[in-house]
Amino acid sequence: MAETAATIYHNPACSMSRKILAAIRAAGIEPRIVEYLKTPPDRATLADLLARAGLTPRQAMRTKGALWRELGLDDPAVGDDAILDAMAANPVLIERPIVVTAKGVRLCRPPERLAEILA
């Protein structure tokens, strides 16, 4: 196993998330897997992850599905705090997968972003 530890905020129902998990394992790393729909990060952890990834909450919000529209989050006037609150309360709104390594945090969409933080 490689030295670099990793954590993946994972949804096993998502093909992209499964692809990234497989790529991490192919690199010789057995990551800590957080199934974020079952064990969502709290608001502070989510805010920290996004800041470390260089993303705004809007950039990390999942816009597939109806919930983001139902909550009015498609309105450009909705601020980051409101989006972050909604993501913390409804983790299905968090785009995936988010991967954390010693080299940084990335939302691995597109999947090539993973290479930026693997050893």
Active site members: 14
Hey, is 61 helix, strand or coil?
Answer: strand
Q: 3-state SS of 12-49?
A: CCCHHHHHHHHHHHHCCCCCEEEECCCCCCCHHHHHHH
